[in-house]
Chains A and B, each alone.
Chain A
């Protein structure tokens, strides 16, 4: 085993731990590759957003934000998130309760169906509602007769957002609640608590950080969704434009400062989301352990 040709001398003389790590040169090269890649693909786009937003100074930035249509877009984005996130929150808790606390036939198939929106293009998520409620659809004439407006209005935007963010809370909670089992709930029930008391005082405290984690991701996507919302919104300025859609309109009008000003608000929101997410992972890692990774 001491053939100097096959086993170069430096291996024998190096520190014993060398065998299970890379040599310093390889290590430096890998780190340079990783950092270079992340700097070009993640950091630069983020920096550019803020650089462009403030390129004409802070006054121009606030002027761009404090514009009627921009404020309307911010309000609409908040409204859509305030409606769609709680809907998916209730669904996520209900689905996770049924799936994690009970054994029944077809459970795996149900989980697959819940994940379905993740494998559908956002554009198609919007398209399905256009086909369902559009003038050429079965429901279209009936809706028109009764004066119900869904497409190119807030209800359509909410529906498309709900579709796209559908799995977020459920898929955080399902593995978490499966891991926690049913022991705590059985104990509470045997001590005389009813179903609601068990949920509020036993289950909810167990899942609260995982739930918050799911809501955080759900909200980020709800406020940032572009493709699905773009198809159903109709792009009416000041009425059906969410923030991401408003970014597009401003950008296409060569209003770079305006587009990037609104974009920087969304980027700030993304950064806040990342910070909160990281804090949750660091602080309550064990309580949301089953949720790491996507």
Chain B
């Protein structure tokens, strides 16, 4: 299928000798529309048909606000913890050689592979007052299971691979010469790491944080077992959606879901902006 020489002007696609464009793009778009776009726009449409005052009433309901605060707050703390430890894990995996490194590297993906409900009951058992970790922490007066701290623990588990897998390839790419240059110019190791290497890692760390945070905000399965699910204290937004659905309060479920979606997209937008800024600054 040769095409006439390109005329100046708008053209949907570049000419190519490879067949199947119409078939594959057509099928992809149809499937995408049926599975993702129609259901999602149904949500937005239902939410819009609520009317502004109803929507506002649900959005400012104290239980809704608290649930959103808890979801976003715990996800933020967990992502911050993962940024610190995830970066250390990535550094150790890339830079140091030790027996079992490959096994540990593979293990980092466990939270991707382990069903969230399994993680949920395992963590709850671990951190319940009689569990291995819970019994250790109880004498210190630290309660994890059935408190917001439990939510953080579950979200740290869920988010870890996002940070490690985003930062790891960037550490692998670091040119040793940069470090040698810094060292030759008199920087000590601490200065080299924090002033020379970290700025280069910053975009990856921010991306890892964003991915872990976004996943944490929406997480359900691993959290509901350990959280205790006390309204206003340890009830996350996705759970409140489920509760409203079970009460056949579709309006409230829809409104909370729409707020969550909007906040998540806003957050991703902000993080994209931060990222493009850091990229510009550090090339």
Binding site for B on A (CB under 8 A): 1, 7, 11, 18-23, 26-27, 30-31, 33-35, 37-38, 40-46, 48-49, 52, 90-91, 94-95, 97-98, 101-105, 110, 113-114, 116-117, 119-124, 127-132, 134, 136-137, 159, 162-163, 166, 182, 185-186, 189-190, 194-195, 198-199, 217, 220, 223-227, 230-231, 243-245, 247-248, 251, 256, 259-260, 263, 266-267, 270-271, 273-275, 277-278, 282, 292-294
Contact = CB atoms under 8 A, between A and B. Distances in A.
B116 A101 contact: no
Contacts of B116: 224, 226-227, 244
Given A19-B184, A30-B91, A97-B24, 6 more contacts: A11-B188, A41-B157, A104-B25, A166-B36, A226-B220, A247-B115
A279 B268 CA distance: 33
A30 B110 CA distance: 21
Interface residues of B, number: 103
Contacts of A247: 115, 117-118, 121
A132 B13 contact: no
Contacts of B180: 19-20
Contacts of A256: 125
Contact of B36 (A52, A113, A231, A294): A113
Given A103-B13, A185-B18, A195-B20, A128 B118 contact: no
A134 B242 CA distance: 14
Contacts, number: 305
Interface string B176-193: 100110011010110010
A243 to B, nearest CB: 8
A270 B110 contact: yes
B13 A102 contact: yes
A35 B93 CA distance: 10
A232 to B, nearest CB: 10
B126 A124 contact: no
Contacts of A293: 165-166, 168-169
B92 A263 contact: no
Contact of B114 (A21, A46, A117, A129): A46
Contact of A98 (B24, B168, B188, B238): B24
A259 B125 CA distance: 12
Interface of B: 11-14, 16-21, 23-25, 27-29, 31-32, 35-40, 42-43, 46, 85, 88-89, 91-93, 95-96, 98, 102, 104-119, 121-123, 125-126, 131-133, 153, 156-157, 160-162, 165-166, 168-169, 176, 179-180, 183-184, 186, 188-189, 192, 211, 214, 217-221, 225, 237-239, 241-242, 245, 250, 253-254, 257, 260-261, 264-265, 268
A251 B121 contact: yes
A34 B42 CA distance: 45
A278 B39 contact: no
Given A19-B189, A128-B42, A266 B238 contact: no
Nearest to B114: A270
Nearest to B29: A110
Given A38-B104, A131-B254, A244 B115 contact: yes
Contact of A30 (B92, B107, B113, B245): B92
Contacts of A42: 107-108, 110-111, 157, 160
B261 A30 contact: no
Contact of B122 (A23, A101, A263): A263
Contacts of B218: 119-124
A267 B19 contact: no
Nearest to A188: B18
A95 B113 contact: no
Given A119-B265, A163-B35, A37 B85 contact: yes
A129 B36 CA distance: 10
